[in-house]
Chain A
Amino acid sequence: MSNLHEGATMLVSNFVLPNDLHVHWSMMIVLYPYITGLVDGAFIIGALYYLFDVKTLKPVARFSLLFALAFLLCATIPLLLHLGRPERNLNMLLTPNPSSAMAGFGYIYAVSMGVLTFIVVFVYRPDMVELKQRSRGVVKLICRLLTFDCDDLSPRAMNLDARIIKILMGIGIPVAAVLHGYVGFIFGGVKANPTWSTPLMPVIFLFSACVSGISAIVLAYIVIRKITGKPIDGPCIVTCIKTLTGFFILAFSFEMLEVFSHSYLRSGYHHMVAGLLNGPLAESFWLWQVKICSGIPLVLLTVMAFIKLRQSWYTLLAAAVSAILLLQVFIMRWNVVIGGQLMSKSSRGYTVFHPEWFDKEGIVTVIVVMLIPFVILFVLGKIFPFWADERKAEC
């Protein structure tokens, strides 16, 4: 006589509760943590240079701030596309429920937008002063606004700027951590879902966010510099990769610890998690997220850490690792958000998810939403030069 509650036997009927058939949090909710994660990781690079004085990161420091700003500007788009009643989105600002992690969005986003915008304004003030003197009309007006209508570039003013940037960065790091950490807690605080409810969720999200952001900066830097025919700063890439390695080891360890804890503790709904990872998510989790997109980067990063390589090889490997890790973090978000919803609360079965092409939250929408920040970045790059070596003065 088989055990009534032995995991495998519970899954036999593949019973999905009637209201569980539909997956409510779709690709836009996969995209939102991905975008705020990119913001966080890019911000870390900027913070390492401006706050912690890691001099080797100077080439990408300003670019990473612009990158973070471009993506942060787009962070609300996936959410508005997801909401059933987006016209009521201001309710989050008017009556945020203090016990709800999601309610934090309105104010945390506003504060982080403010902090990042001001950091960019202060970092680029010398460029804006110069641009103001060269331009006319609307552009001149914008420059006046961004420089507080003051041309003071004296050492006293620049020192003040540097201090302000440091203070804003100091505020910005915890704000950025909360901006993405609260998203992790949105999932971590749902006890009804066995893969989501873990205290490790905000930690996993934060570390993998840093991985994705740093990878994005590395890849973007290499690609843009190659396309525009400019040289790539070796030590900068090395520092980025070392930081990336540290964050990735942490992120991967916590992801695996999470799975291992489940399989060891075997508490309550463990069979659902095991059934999910070995069933509907077997390919996307074990093959793609772990073996290909975590295994290969681990090997490559080990090679890059211990073997002395020519810079061209190192740069190539850096670009490859970054691309794979960008994919890894996306797949991880997918597995958590959509994978988690495949489990029915009946504890007896799994539903299926069919991504649509032309839906409000469809594949085409995902592509468009991911392209918008790059368009913004392109426009920002016309106003605020990406690279420090395009300017003669110190930044």
Chain B
Amino acid sequence: MKITAAPPELDRRAFIISVLKGSVAGSLLLIYPMGGGDASDMLETSEMAGLPEEIPGIREQPYDIHAQRFAFIVDITRCIGCGSCCVADKREYNVPDGYYRTWVERYTKDFDDQVWVDCPNGGLDGYQHPRSDIDIQVRDTFFVPKLCNMCRETPCTQVCPVGATFTTPDGFVLMDSDRCVGCGYCIQACPYSSRFLNPVTKTAEKCTWCYHRVRKGLLPACVEVCPTGARKFGSLNDKNSEVYKILKGPGVLTVLKESMGTWPALYYLGARLEVI
């Protein structure tokens, strides 16, 4: 029997198969520079000369979004509570007052191992004076910087009803502020309280590990300004990076709220049991 034209069912099937094979997706890649752009089209050349690369390997080649792994390590033994990170973050993103993408907490311990935690204004003003509101003999004080944990099993992206927050193929949990309806579900779902509702844009917001800087081969703003090296960031593809050596080394690294099963990409060095 001679078939003059493909029956409609075959055409449909072929189309679906081609979609599944990703050819449609592939052709879209030609139209949209989906993470295929490199750092050079993100920075002016003159700027690039003045801003040397801080994350090796980002600028040399086109950015392969599927082949990146980054880690952020916070070393509590080195944090001095200066609050530079909080100030830099607020300036980098014009964060509204009263909301924080990153903050530094102060843990004060007395001689009964009782822990008192405070965080005045998110640590933006630094910590200049001991606590005057509690009457204890201070045995020890330390600071804990906190920011988005970039969970690998992300509870926030799981609950977003419209797909406005998502994990990129290179491991960053980002916000699509044009899509967010401001329902606040992601804010409820985050176990680390990293998220807030921006009162100006009325959409959810959080720390993004300065994705826009990392894509240009620069360190996140808070890592950039930290004077003591309490915040460390790097690519795990770079075997000479500090974070690679720490992660692969023998020391003890912890994460926050491990029992939640979020598998954070933010690690803590020197975090004691009382840090939650």
Contacts and interface: CB of A to CB of B under 8 A. Distances in A.
Asked whether the complex places CB atoms of A and B closer than 8 A, the reply is yes
Interface string B115-137: 11111011000000000001000
Interface in A98-143: 99-103, 105
B53 to A, nearest CB: 33
Interface in A3-33: 4-5, 9-10, 12-13, 15, 17-22, 24-25
B171 interface: no
A265 interface: no
Interface string B174-209: 000001111111011111111111000111100000
Nearest to A186: B185
A24 B197 contact: yes
A15 B105 CA distance: 10
Given A19-B99, A24-B188, A4 B203 contact: no
A322 to B, nearest CB: 32
A1 interface: yes
B56 interface: no
Contact of B192 (A88, A95, A345): A345
A15 B185 contact: no
A16 to B, nearest CB: 9
Given A85-B181, A192-B260, 7 more contacts: A24-B184, A84-B181, A84-B183, A91-B179, A91-B181, A99-B158, A190-B159
A83 B117 contact: no
Nearest to B178: A88
Contacts of B118: 13, 15
Interface in B130-188: 134, 155, 158-164, 179-185, 187-188
A190 B121 CA distance: 27
A345 B197 CA distance: 16
Interface of A: 1-2, 4-5, 9-10, 12-13, 15, 17-22, 24-25, 82-86, 88-89, 91-92, 94-97, 99-103, 105, 186, 189-193, 268, 341, 344-348
Given A102-B161, A192-B189, A348 B117 contact: yes
B184 A25 contact: yes
A103 B161 contact: yes
B161 A105 contact: yes
B142 to A, nearest CB: 14
Contact of A102 (B159, B182, B191): B159
B276 A346 contact: yes
Given A4-B273, A9-B114, A24 B180 contact: no
A91 to B, nearest CB: 4
Interface string B244-276: 000000000000000111000000000001101
| Most chain B C-beta atoms within 10 Å of own C-beta, residue among A19, A96, A268 | A19
B233 interface: no
A105 to B, nearest CB: 7
| Most chain A C-beta atoms within 10 Å of own C-beta, residue among B100, B179, B184 | B184
Contacts of A341: 188
B161 A92 contact: yes
Contact of B193 (A12, A20, A105): A20
Nearest to A348: B117
Interface of B: 98-100, 103, 105, 112-119, 121-122, 134, 155, 158-164, 179-185, 187-197, 201-204, 259-261, 273-274, 276
A193 to B, nearest CB: 7
A193 B188 contact: yes
Contact of A84 (B115, B182, B261): B182
A217 to B, nearest CB: 31
Contacts of A89: 181
B117 A13 contact: yes
A22 B179 CA distance: 23
B1 to A, nearest CB: 43
A18 B101 CA distance: 10
Contacts of A190: 155, 159, 188-189
Contacts of A189: 159
Given A13-B118, A192-B190, A19 B195 contact: yes
A19 B100 contact: yes
A191 B158 CA distance: 12
Nearest to B146: A17
B195 A84 contact: no
Contacts of B194: 19
A17 B114 contact: no
A2 B116 contact: no
Contacts of A4: 113, 115, 273-274
Contacts of A91: 161-162, 164, 179, 181
A91 B274 CA distance: 42
5 contacts: A13-B118, A19-B99, A24-B184, A97-B162, A186-B185
A7 B163 CA distance: 37
A1 to B, nearest CB: 6
Nearest to A2: B112
Given A96-B161, A96-B162, A99-B158, A84 B180 contact: yes
A230 B252 CA distance: 77
Given A4-B274, A85-B202, A92 B260 contact: no
A13 B110 CA distance: 12
Contact of B185 (A21, A100, A191): A100
Nearest to B159: A100
A347 B260 contact: no
Contacts of A10: 115
B183 A344 contact: no
Contact of A347 (B184, B196, B276): B276
Contacts of B202: 84-85
A15 B276 CA distance: 12
A103 B164 CA distance: 12
B137 to A, nearest CB: 14
Contacts of B190: 192, 345
Contacts of B259: 268
Given A85-B202, A192-B260, A2 B113 contact: yes
| Most chain B C-beta atoms within 10 Å of own C-beta, residue among A15, A82, A186 | A15
Given A19-B99, A83-B181, A24 B162 contact: no
